[in-house]
Amino acid sequence: MTETELTQFRESTRAWLADNFPASLANKMLGYERISDPEMAQQLEAWRQKLAEQGWGAPTWPKEYGGAALSQPEARVISQEMAKIGAMNPIPLLAGMGVTMVGPTVLEYGTEEQKQKHLPGIASGEVRWCLGLSEPNAGSDLASLSTKAVDEGDYFVLNGQKIWTSGADISQWCGALVRTDSTAKKRDGISFVMLPMDQEGVQTKPIRLIAGASPFCETFFNDARAEKADLLGDLNDGWSVVKRLLQHERQSQTSARGAPANKADGLQEVAKKYVGTDGEGRLADADLRTRIANHLMDAQAHGLTVARITAEARGNPKVSAAASILKNSATKVAQTKSELTMEVMGNQGIGWEGDHFTSDELNNVREWLSGKAISIYGGSYEVQNNIISKNILGLPETTQKG
């Protein structure tokens, strides 16, 4: 696509957003579970439907699966123009793990029947997905999982327990990694199956975290049923499928979390507010000033690296081991920002409740606590370093192959 064509697409995108985006939703946190106002929820639903009709829930997917068949540069234009007016695309949030992880993996490994069955509901945000991967005794060593799937002809019967299953209690479908051959080496006897959550054999139990609200659940399979037609990839080759799925997860986590782009008070301004300034208008604490400057440079370097790797991919939607570099970089940026904000706020940054704390102060405490998980979920910081060492630096395998 030429620059002229991209400019024309940007103009048409801007015009469509002006005609269709409800101004009342600007700069709002858009998730059904976060909106109690019925009128606003109704507006959000209308906005979701318009996005789905445009195929912008998953804009790079083929049209026959609910996407818009757009290029990566066009998809970035949509995101950029939405950000300018404070618009958020709620579909990836409403689809749970669907748009960022399950969908891209089904596009690569799924049969045509599976694509037609599952992708349109994900792309429209009407069907929410969770993932049954980790278990109480199989975390970073995921291949040690013990949940079994027994072949019963046209279907599998699942028994076992999953943990940290994000959104399991509100999801309609689950993609689960299960053991289908107990006699094979642990990575060779695993399969990836998709199953409906609304069945008697599936129970979920939310997990309460220190930060308060939590998306995590325990998930129990007690003679749960997964149809053979919903086996993703080949039997006993689920390890290949899940490795690809986790690459997609890391790719989706490469943007460091922080305040919305339209928020006026950046970290520098927050620091000046709480710490104060010197006679030249600079942050009074010189050491803190240096550390904030270093953080801002890290954040800028991360953003530029994301842009460079994206540009080098030349529109190729496939992800690589570079996602592990970006995942760890995003983790460092996000956690450093939370730590600095806590330090800047001082006593006001450690409150849990009470009238003498602002909503920003209370939210920061919860962000700081929940942000500790960033270096664990999606594959821990150390797991990413192993991937980088083997697949990018070419260092020898020191654990096990696979």
Active site residues: 249
Q: Are 101 and 245 in contact (CB under 8 A)?
A: yes
Distance CA 176, CA 181 (A): 15
Structure token pair of residue 91: 């579909």
Secondary element (H or E) of residue 178: strand 173-179
398 burial type by CB count under 10 A (0-12 exposed, 13-18 middle, 19+ buried)? exposed
Cα torsion 235, 237, 243, 248: sign? negative
**How many Cα atoms occupy the beta-carbon half-sphere of 57 within 13 Å?**
32
Taking the chain, what is the end-to-end CA distance rounded to the nearest angstrom?
Answer: 38
Other Cβ atoms closer than 10 A to 14: 16
Please, what is the angle between helix 3-20 and helix 38-54, to 10°? Answer: 150
Nearest in space to 99 (alpha carbons), one of 77, 71, 74, 131? 131
Distance CA 146, CA 135 (A): 8
Q: Are 19 and 83 in contact (CB under 8 A)?
A: no
- Residue 169 is given by DSSP the state G
Distance CA 173, CA 193 (A): 11
